[in-house]
Structure 1
Amino acid sequence: MSSSEYEGPSWGIQEIYLTCESHLIIAISYGAARIEVQLHQTRSGRAAEDKLIKEYKAACDAEDEDKEMAVAERVADQIMETGKPVFDKLAPVQSAEEDFHSLIFPEKFAFSLSTVKGRWQITKLEEEPHTNVPGRREPMRTVLEDDTAMDEPDDGFSDEDMDTDQDDLADDEIFLVTTTADLDLPRYSTKDIKLIERLDGFGIVARVVVDGQERCVKVLDRDTRRAVQREFDCLKKIAASPYAATMRTPKLLGIVVVPDDGRAIGIVEEYISHPEVYEMSNLGRIGKVTKVDKKRRAKWASQIQETVARLHEIGVVWGDAKPSNVLIESGTDDVRVIDFGGGFTTPWVNDKLAETVQGDDEAVRKIAKYLKV
């Protein structure tokens, strides 16, 4: 199920996480509201919700981001199928003319999703929903992860290559984009940005209109603060390089700020227009690649190789290099490399090579092999 399959507010996954190994919590944007839904392990351990929790935990343990997303989408689909009539009565409807602000600072509701005699039911909770507001001080949640996983891998460049490390910031600053005083970029209030649609991925990523132009906006939250900051730093470095005009990556176009005090909470990027046909929207969705003309595939592989080589030349590591982070641009049929938030996805990058030049090179070779060129 997707928001296009029925009439009503648009919706998308904002975040999903495990607590205490037995609770799965997923937050969904629904129109102008944030819907937080909890799934709890049952005593029998054999209910449908138990299966979903176990599958998501297994995907996390395997560090399989694609599987994590697939399970998250299944959970979200079940939530929408069960809870939409309830959500429609509570959630404010977001019109096409409504500003982007309500997506960042939404009204919040908490629910639980469970099965009773094999049938799904949704129950409204009176407790305060998990809050994830940019620029606000929040208690950090308990997650299932190895603390050592937060250590920064050696990417082949010095610490000076990136402007900041968000982990060094005070608690009340961790949701702010760290910029420099000499940065010559326009700043856009959340109230001056018009929402077109939420885009795939965790956190707040959206296709919007800014100054009459379609753009992509990414906003920091508790779980994406490092990723958005890293993307900002990478795109800023690209913009200052000799390849700024020709690099096949999104261009950094502005900063998102809170209207009342000007806090920087996100970035505005070029929106890469790509085919609406699912199988051609990115390289990871092609399916049977041999159905695509070999000359096109060879061109794409060459463009990826050239782009990554130039990134390395200016001191930028792609990071989460994989086919699904390569868009096929409409009009030109050229590729555009996206997502500089870091991390890695198996089998494209070995975990020991995450966010390194060597990891990028490994992924480029595997992508060429995937394209059969």
Structure 2
Amino acid sequence: MNWLFAHDNRFLEADDGQIYSEVAFAYSNWERYLVHIDQLTVLARMEKLGDLNKKAINLSSGPGVTFQGVEDPYGVRTLTPFPIGYKTVLEAVKKTDGVIARLPSEIGYMALKAAKKTNTPYCIEVVGDGYQTMATYGNWKGKIYAPIAERKMKRNIATSQHTLYITERHLQERYPPVGYNVSCSNVEIPKIEKDTLVRRQARIESDRKRLHIGMNGSLSSPYKGFETTFLALAKIKSELPPFEFRILGRGPKERWQDLAKELGLEDCVVFSGTLPNKDVCTWLDDIDIFLMPSKTEGQGRALIEALSRGCSCLGSNVGGIPELLEPEQLHESGDVATFANQIKVLAISKEKQLQYAERGIERARTFQSEILQNKRQEFFHRFKEVIEMRN
């Protein structure tokens, strides 16, 4: 049996044919599907690897998985019945037994259109808010397209008989399900070791010379909230102990270097580049306070990973973040003053850091692989049964 996975992610092809991804989508991601099928075709944007360091990104290719590129789906034709790339998507759907569309994504929408046209069974993974993703994209085109994207997403989910949400409540309320649906995060963290809290407590209680504050996200993303953090840190710099603001993520850093210099933070900011999934935990173990001041967020993969390592976390009150943090750890998106005060209070209170660490580790336990795998396998098993009954 062959399934097709459709999403807008950008994959990178090396000269030797191996496929990589800068964000998520290591080969282990595909194993959740391959346990049910013989072959998975990934339909996405494809580019050449270029001079990127393979060791710093995720290897996506492996047995049972093939990749097929789709023309960049964004542009004026997105608004028409036949967007760029639709013919490619339609031909790929004709060759598959079932479609998995990860939304929001233009390639996902096209795959669903093709599945309905060819009467191919499909399921949907809801990983973000179609409206907010476009509204916070960073330019006027995104704001104009946002309500259209929202309607597309609502219309497709309203006809889906198999829908998987990564949140417990937020995305279900925004895009209500009709058929069979489950709540199951797409974040899978390893089993949390018994001594994780002990090691974190030892770090909190040690006499460190410098506080490490961290964020993880694409530097080119307009909705991750980097500017909010820079402004907040500048506001309270003189009231904080010596600190480093470490940023893990891909993308051009010049804009943020200029802002750091303008705000007097140039000596405090460290750009950590990119790391494969397996090395992110090591990076987090050296972070004291982890921040996610996003303008929009599906659930917050990076936040869950930080919680699992005992980092003291603060975030905005958007998307699925309030499902992960307590009200006192949240701020209104863009509220620099409140955010700055939360950072200041947390930075000087070891007691609060330990409290947040304990709470975060317990919350993260529900995202351990062994727990989520059972829910996810049941969902895709039922989807497979529907396909088999039709054949």
Is the structural similarity TM-score above 0.5?
A: no
TM-score scaled by length of structure 1: 0.29
TM-score scaled by length of structure 2: 0.28
